[in-house]
Amino acid sequence: MIRRLKRFLMAAAVLSTCGVLLMAAGWLLSPFPVKRLERWPASPLVTDRHGREMLRVVGDDEQWRFVVPLERISPQLIQATIAVEDERFLLHGGIDPPAVLRAIGQNLGSLRVVSGASTLTMQICRMLDDRPRTFAAKMIEALRALQLESIYSKQQILQTYLNIAPYGHNIRGVEAAARAYFGKSAEQLSLGEAALLAGLPQSPNRLRPDRSPEKARARREIVLRRMAELGMIDDQQLALASSEPIPTTLCKAPKAAPHAAWMSLQRRLGGGRTTLDLSLQSEMERIAARHRLKLPPGCDVAMVVIDIPSGDILAMVGSADANHTRHGQVNGCTARRSPGSTLKPFIYAAAFEERLLSPQSVVHDIPIERAGWSPSNFDKTFAGDLPVADALRRSLNVPAIMVAEGVGLPRCLGLIEAAGVRLPANTLARGGLAVVVGSVEITLLDLTNAYATIGRGGVRRSPRLLMDDPTDESPAIEANVCAAIDEILSSRVRRPQSMAEWPAHQVPWFAWKTGTSSGRRDAWAVGHNRRFAAGVWAGLFSGAGESRLVGAGVAEPLLADIFALPAIRTDKDPLPARPWIVERPLPPPRELGEELAITSPRNGATFLAMSGQAVIHPRVNRKENMTWFLNGRLIGDSAKRLILTPGQYELRCVDASGKYSAVEFTVR
């Protein structure tokens, strides 16, 4: 009976062994699932240009995993992992025979499994196809490890392991672990921190330092002593690393520059390294928070800084308080708002390029009327004849409108767009000449980039938010014209009000322009200093007007503070512009006007006769005397005030040269 039982057990053992070998052979002959190994989902991570974390988001598999190359992992962490997990990693081909023999001896001596002899390569294979830990599974892992070693180099295998190994909770990979436990990247870890992480994959949740700090400390000590035994560290390094504190809480994910961070994720779902500099960003946020206290209630602030040589966005403050329940998520840098007078430098630049004007040319600030629109200046006065430079510095509306008229509005809009401002598709038809004073909506980011174009000598670059974004550039404005605009708007000629009392040597050089939209809904200040371009917007995100929202009083002080920052300021004045000859001077104001037109009443209008009569005041877009006809009859002086009964009417005016304009209207 006993003999039969022994024979049965031997046969069963042989059959099971053969079955395992056949199964393993099948796995060995099947191709290694390389694609599955290379497609571990990564969690989106956004950093600044120096690698400092701005935003991290959990991955689609609800795991935290940030894939990093081996060169961005602390060498001490690599050494610690090899020391405690697979000390002969660089010598074996996927299976470590001495470790296997040692494991067999330990397991037989203990009559239970105390060692599995798994190499780093075998552990990767187990993570790829997680199955119950049996003898058959171990055989499959070993054969898969041989396959993996034939496909990948040792460096690739090590990099893969460090990016997918478990480190407790839902944390995968050393980069996610370093950020979760220490709030830093894997390349910045100290020896003690590296040793602690290296010990976690043995039993990730049991050894988590935030839950079991003493167990984590004991495991770290094992790792450090093993490193010392292998000659990786000396006794002094061991002692110092052993004294390092154990993290007892997980580090909260930072949310720096949230508007730029989320904008980066919208452009690239996996995140990436942005062009922002968090040091400058923090300074900008402090400036925004401080100035917001001086604004009317409910008003907000947006600011952006662009590096002129590269086009990199270095700082972006979408709103002063990103945590505000109503407006915190609004990015004022990309919201379309009316720019007020900030486009005027580009109107004059177009005239300069056409050699229709020079900074010394005389323009006219006089009352005009265009299709029933009578533009005026901010102070409701007119300055008469004055140089172009003064008209631009004083931001006078009428001269800029007449210059746009003389140059041609399509040419002006073309230059504005070439400089980097994306205008609405129907700008010409919808805005007309009112574009000069801000009748269309643009973004602060585009406007600031257009001023960066001026600071770059007329070369436009697309603003870049991610470091690996492609760059493109194109000529937009003549370099000498840009230099002339800079001279006109220079802080050497006129100072911001906040710097009025500063000694001359303390005032930095920069060129800037302010703007206020119609109804005082938006206050702007934008400029550059040849190194950086900066833009500021202040207003209510609701679009409501506020009497105190004036560019010079609200936005200009913020811009001056930006250009006074040590990291931004420059005291070097640029070279002056070379003078040029005006080849085709703009014609005088009368010739710049539209064709003779009756502006009131409008053609096709209908008036209601109250008590049987309607009173109408005819107007024309010329100041000279006109000859007036009503239904073909000369009406002379009575044209200033017509009292009409119900009926159909034709009103006609004729100037001294015989040109005429006529409208038809109805009185009911």
- Tell me which of 39-53, 276-290, 492-506 is least confident: 39-53
What is the amino acid identity at position 562? I
- The helix/strand count (H/E) of the chain reads as 22, 25
Q: Averaged over 531-552, what is the pLDDT?
A: 93
- What mean pLDDT do residues 379-405 have? 93
With a cut of 50, say whether residue 378 has pLDDT above it. yes
Q: Residue 35 pLDDT more than 60?
A: no
Are β-strands 605-607 and 660-667 bridged in parallel, bridged antiparallel, or unpaired?
A: parallel
Alpha carbon dihedral 642, 646, 650, 651, in 10-degree steps, equals: 10
Please give the pLDDT value at position 93.
Answer: 82
For the chain, percent of residues with pLDDT exceeding 90 = 58
Return contacts of 33-39, CB within 8 angstroms, 24+ apart: 33/128, 34/151, 36/128, 37/124, 37/128, 37/148, 37/160
Instruction: Specify the range with the lowest mean pLDDT, choosing from 203-207, 429-433, 594-598.
Output: 594-598
Query: What pLDDT shows up at residue 19?
Result: 44
Q: What per-residue confidence (pLDDT) applies to 29?
A: 47
- pLDDT value of residue 603: 87
Higher pLDDT: 370 or 230? It is 230
Q: Secondary structure of the chain: what % helix, strand, coil (to 5)?
A: 40, 15, 40
Cβ 80 vs Cβ 195: under 8 Å? yes
pLDDT value of residue 329: 81
d(CA 143, CA 270): 34
Q: Would strands 384-387 and 627-630 be described as parallel, antiparallel, or unpaired? A: unpaired
Look at residue 63 and tell me whether its pLDDT is greater than 50. yes
Q: Is 428 helix (H, G, I), strand (E, B) or coil?
A: helix
Q: For residues 646 and 216, what is the distance between their CA atoms, to the nearest angstrom?
A: 97
Lowest mean pLDDT among 105-109, 149-153, 336-340: 105-109
pLDDT value of position 652: 87
Lowest-pLDDT choice from 30-44, 198-212, 395-409, 532-546: 30-44
pLDDT of residue 262: 93
Instruction: Give Cβ neighbours of residue 229 (< 8 Å, ≥ 6 apart).
Output: none
Among 314, 296, 279, 484, residue whose Cα is nearest residue 392: 484
Query: What pLDDT score was predicted for residue 8?
Result: 45
Q: What is the pLDDT of residue 102?
A: 65
Question: How sure is the predictor about 95, in pLDDT bands with cuts at 50, 70 and 90?
Answer: confident
Q: Would residue 638 show up in a list of annotated catalytic residues for this protein?
A: no
pLDDT of residue 132: 64
Helices (H), 152-246: 154-164, 174-182, 191-199, 213-229, 235-242
pLDDT of residue 512: 97
For 132-185, the pLDDT digits (tens) are: 666 677 778 888 888 888 888 999 999 999 999 999 999 999 999 999 999 999
Residue range 292-303: mean pLDDT, rounded: 91
Question: Which pLDDT score is estimated for 523?
Answer: 96
Strand positions, DSSP E, 332-489 = 336-337, 362-365, 384-387, 442-443, 459-461, 473-475
Instruction: Give 623 or 275, the one with higher predicted confidence.
Output: 275
E strand or H helix that includes residue 451: helix 444-455
- Burial class of 68 by CB neighbour count within 10 A (0 to 12, 13 to 18, 19+): buried
| Domain 595-667: which CATH number of 3.30.499.10, 1.10.150.20, 2.60.40.10, 3.90.1200.10 | 2.60.40.10
**Residue 53 or residue 370, greater confidence:** 53
Least confident residue range of 105-119, 144-158, 325-339: 105-119
Q: How many CB atoms lie within 10 A of CB 43?
A: 25
Q: Which residue has the higher pLDDT, 122 or 621?
A: 122
Q: What pLDDT, on a 0 to 100 scale, did the predictor assign at position 150? A: 87
Phi-psi map region of 556: left, alpha, beta (phi>0 left; psi -120 to 50 alpha): alpha
- The answer to which of 17-26, 286-295, 514-523 has the lowest mean pLDDT is 17-26
38 is catalytic: no
250-266: buried (b, 16+ CB within 10 Å) or exposed (e) per residue?
beebbebbbbbbbbbbe
Which pLDDT score is estimated for 117?
67
One-letter amino acid of 330:
V
Q: Which residues contact 513 (CB under 8 A, 6 or more apart)?
A: 341, 342, 344, 345, 395, 451, 489, 525, 526, 527
> Residue 645, Cα to own-chain centre: how many angstroms?
63
Q: CA angle at residue 254 from 250 to 258, to 5 degrees?
A: 155
Instruction: Give the model confidence (pLDDT) of 545-601 as tens digits.
Output: 888 999 999 999 999 999 999 999 999 999 999 999 998 888 776 555 557 788 889
**pLDDT the model gives residue 177:** 95
End-to-end CA distance of the chain: 125
Give pLDDT, residue 23: 47
Strand partners, 55: 46
Tell me what pLDDT residue 610 has.
84
- Mean pLDDT along residues 71-76: 95
Nearest to 586 by CA among 343, 347, 373, 344: 347
CB 524 within 8 A of CB 514: yes
Residues 95, 638: Cα–Cα separation, whole Å: 110
Architecture category of domain 63-242 in CATH: Orthogonal Bundle (1.10)
pLDDT digits (tens, 9 = 90+) for 13-33: 444 454 444 444 544 545 655
**CB of 556 closer than 8 Å to CB of 496:** yes
Higher pLDDT, 287 or 636: 287
Higher pLDDT, residue 216 or 326: 216
Catalytic residue among 43, 185, 341, 517: 341
Classify strands 442-443 and 384-387 as parallel, antiparallel or unpaired: unpaired
pLDDT at 328 over 80: no
What does the pLDDT read at residue 11?
46
Distances (CA, A) of 534 to 290, 320, 460, 564: 18, 16, 15, 12
Q: Which residue did the predictor score with more confidence, 132 or 361?
A: 361
Nearest-angstrom CA–CA distance, 436 and 449:
18
Residue 291 has pLDDT above 50, yes or no: yes
Neighbours of 119 (CB within 10 A): 26
- Are 47 and 54 contacting, i.e. CB atoms less than 8 angstroms apart? yes
Q: Supply the pLDDT for residue 13.
A: 46
Amino acid at 658: G
**Residue 209 CB-half CA count within 13 A:** 28
Domain locations along the chain: 63-242, 595-667
**pLDDT value of residue 26:** 47
Number of other CB atoms surrounding residue 480 within 10 Å: 17
From the candidates 43, 74, 85, 556, give the one annotated as an active-site residue. 85
pLDDT greater than 60 at residue 261: yes
- What single DSSP character describes residue 336? E
Report the alpha-carbon distance of residue 343 to residue 347 in Å, rounded.
7
* pLDDT averaged over every residue in the chain: 87
- Number of residues assigned to the chain: 668
